[in-house]
Structure 1
């Protein structure tokens, strides 16, 4: 029987005939609008964009009964509640107008929490890196234990769809919820059964106004009565759990070495639980082996331990943890092995869109030809270059901010040969891979871990990773 989460009775928010403004027609906006309409609300959707995709979303929502205003939207005069898309900054004019008028502004996560059915359990995952992998691992563990579970939130499936009955009237008993800092910023009453902040590193600082407010937004996941799962190797994770979390709530750590009582960790090649046992001081449970974690890079083992801690918090059996890891298929573009050519491995970690993610990938290999660069968004790469300097055989740089990476290499790894590719068209990746192949020696890993966003040259990190893989496969020719 699934343990009931704090607040699991649900708020059963009454939306009938309430005038609700939904801001944004991105990923979360349309499903939120449809859910509100189904609850009897009078819905107005606003968005500044007028592109074809937005117009298409608008047409469908108008057919469903919503009012849609595009262009330079203003807050509708009769608005009683605003549900904002996560990416909208708090200083957006529409949101400021709502706050001045004393109108509550919430996000899609908060709305879903207020509408969720009694007894539905939420296990929450946030952090700068590793969220999607951890949530997917957790979902696999829960399903291996026979739970009716789904991975939702920022992972792809809108959470609002997971708290309302499907076409067959069925609903999930337990949710593995991926949460961004944006979503947590707009979540006031969220109280998951258990939650983890995997790590915190500089990201989205322009939106939050600095690292501290960004971290504190992450820390909101440690709510009243929420079991606090903590990465003992990450200072922010520890601080947020102790400073923002409920001091009366259970604290469970995870680490990459021998766990103390109350923790999960690694002993030789085994993943061990010394938290959720009958006597954590005297006994331990074997959950899995390192071979069950794919790939077994240190940061991915940490993801597996975090997922295991959340799963164990609701009573998932040890054998189900291992079965879940065995069933888990890593998401594309996350340390994905593309091919081996001439004794050289080619690995796509295009999802490493910030320095914190990139250094975790770099430290997983002993001799690396590093493919890096893109939009750094103000992030500093000196620390990761210094950390990985001894592992770098060479580097191939691309993208708008490649000069910053080159300068960091000059300061911290002057012995490393560097090739810069100054083309900015999408075909530049062929030249990048060819240059990397020319620098690599047998036993090396050519690693795409850009440490930067992709939008200067590609639609997204997926397109960048696909271009890299395609260029690698063309090496045969």
Structure 2
């Protein structure tokens, strides 16, 4: 880890008279356009779509005097000096290629928020990773609140960073979730401390390669002041710390589900302990909480709790607040959520497990399992997932467009596991899947919805898929 320099914010935020193109409407584009316009920029919004929602948003912006071009997101408006893009816009879009040729910089909404911070702005504790970001940021915010700090969970989590930075509410510190997309477009972000929870292949169609994906994730460590938190079980996260250019004195702090080494947080005899932010860490450790304080206490969720605790401790939070914050935390729906017990079988909804890495973590939390899986594979393969989880499986019920890929992996690596193929895609498909799972399950088993796939082939999103699972379990419960 080297030393980084932070560019003074005041040098970067003079937008008066500057021609700025905002790429994309939606949850990030509209606030960005308004914020820039309010600061004297001459703003043009370009958007690929021209649907009813886009026209409604365009009308709102035009009423303020902001130019909007619908159905034309490829052409660089003449005179553009800066592009501020929605995070989902891919780097290979013609608009950005034209910007590159013209020497026009491209920022994301996170970059804009970072540069618009006022004097004495709240520092950022930032979290990224393939899985677990939202849960970890919410745990972190809960711990910070328990320490009496004014905070909010923001970023990729629902609350716009622009709103948090420009709003009237004052914060002591922000718990910030950042996606790889957002980090790609945030070159000058410098967090107080940051964590990369894990790395697994995801969004490779957007980034182009695993190397580019990891590189964008690693941007979160650039310029960190106090701690770069990494996953000791995922060496790639530690490598990103080694490659980062940070401020003098910033430390590498690991987290592990095992006994922690010095400068790590870990678990000893069911207790979460800190050997990083203590005096004489070669010999001393500080008890933070018990595993039973983590809700739910699945292995990957304990890892999330340790990462959150590490960031909080880097900010000076006392051990007492870690325990209180973890106890107060309640996970969002569809994240290893216990729905009901029916005839001695537990039914668990982890519809948020939309890729193989998340599903692997979910499957590792239970045994024996009747696994409900399938949907849109997004280019994923399932051999490694099935091979690692085979011994835990009582049976499998497969749904969705790409279920054959999982069925074939089961045939190769778990041929003794009974498999039921649900080939319907109507609203009754989930009820059939849950009914088949009940038939395969025995008392003491867990029926686990951990699809390892996206949901859009059958559902609007993973929330609707999880709701369908919960409704089917309740119907099963009523008839039990």
Matches within 5 A, 1:349-388: 349-388=350-389
Deviates more, 1:132-141 or 1:273-282: 273-282
CA deviations over 1:63-90 (Å, ceiling 9, x no partner): 2332111112322112111001111001
Give, in angstroms, the shift of residue 223 of structure 1. 0.6
Alignment pair present for 1:98 and 2:99: yes
Contact 1:164 1:171 in 2 (8 A): no
Distance 1:312 1:365 in 2: 30
Residue equivalent to 2:325: 324
Residue equivalent to 1:44: 44
Contact 2:261 2:275 in 1 (8 A): yes
Contact 1:8 1:117 in 2 (8 A): no
Distance 2:331 2:142 in 1: 11
Give, in angstroms, the shift of residue 60 of structure 1. 1.7
Give, in angstroms, the shift of residue 197 of structure 1. 0.6
Alignment pair present for 1:450 and 2:434: no
Distance 2:16 2:325 in 1: 41
Please state whether the residue corresponding to 1:184 is helix, strand or coil. Answer: helix
Residue equivalent to 1:260: 261
Distance 2:437 2:39 in 1: 55
Q: Structure 1 stretches of 5 or more lacking a match?
A: none
CA RMSD in angstroms, aligned pairs only: 1.5
Please state whether the residue corresponding to 2:63 is helix, strand or coil. Answer: helix
Give, in angstroms, the shift of residue 425 of structure 1. 2.3
Contact 2:371 2:450 in 1 (8 A): yes
Distance 2:5 2:308 in 1: 20
Residue equivalent to 1:33: 33
Contact 2:373 2:452 in 1 (8 A): yes
Give, in angstroms, the shift of residue 52 of structure 1. 1.8
Residue equivalent to 1:24: 24
Matches within 5 A, 1:43-442: 43-73=43-73, 74-119=75-120, 120-166=122-168, 170-226=169-225, 227-246=227-246, 248=248, 249-442=250-443
Distance 2:428 2:51 in 1: 26
Q: Structure 2 stretches of 5 or more lacking a match?
A: none
CA deviations over 1:244-285 (Å, ceiling 9, x no partner): 353953111111111111111111111101111122122211
Distance 1:54 1:247 in 2: 43
Distance 1:160 1:427 in 2: 42
CA deviations over 1:277-328 (Å, ceiling 9, x no partner): 1221222111111111000001000000000000001101111111111111
Contact 2:431 2:469 in 1 (8 A): yes
Distance 1:284 1:393 in 2: 41
Please state whether the residue corresponding to 1:405 is helix, strand or coil. Answer: helix
Distance 2:287 2:345 in 1: 35
Distance 1:131 1:397 in 2: 27
The verdict on how the C-alpha distance between 1:245 and 1:298 changes in structure 2, with shifts beyond 3 A counting, is farther
Please state whether the residue corresponding to 1:177 is helix, strand or coil. Answer: strand
CA deviations over 1:352-403 (Å, ceiling 9, x no partner): 0000000100010011000000111111111111111010000000111100
Deviates more, 1:189-198 or 1:36-45: 36-45
Please state whether the residue corresponding to 2:80 is helix, strand or coil. Answer: coil
TM-score (norm 1): 0.96
Distance 1:465 1:157 in 2: 23
Distance 1:30 1:426 in 2: 35
The verdict on how the C-alpha distance between 1:294 and 1:235 changes in structure 2, with shifts beyond 3 A counting, is same
Give, in angstroms, the shift of residue 165 of structure 1. 3.1
Give, in angstroms, the shift of residue 142 of structure 1. 0.7
How many residue pairs get aligned? The number is 470
TM-score (norm 2): 0.95
Distance 1:337 1:59 in 2: 44
Distance 1:419 1:63 in 2: 56
Contact 2:266 2:274 in 1 (8 A): yes
Distance 2:291 2:335 in 1: 18
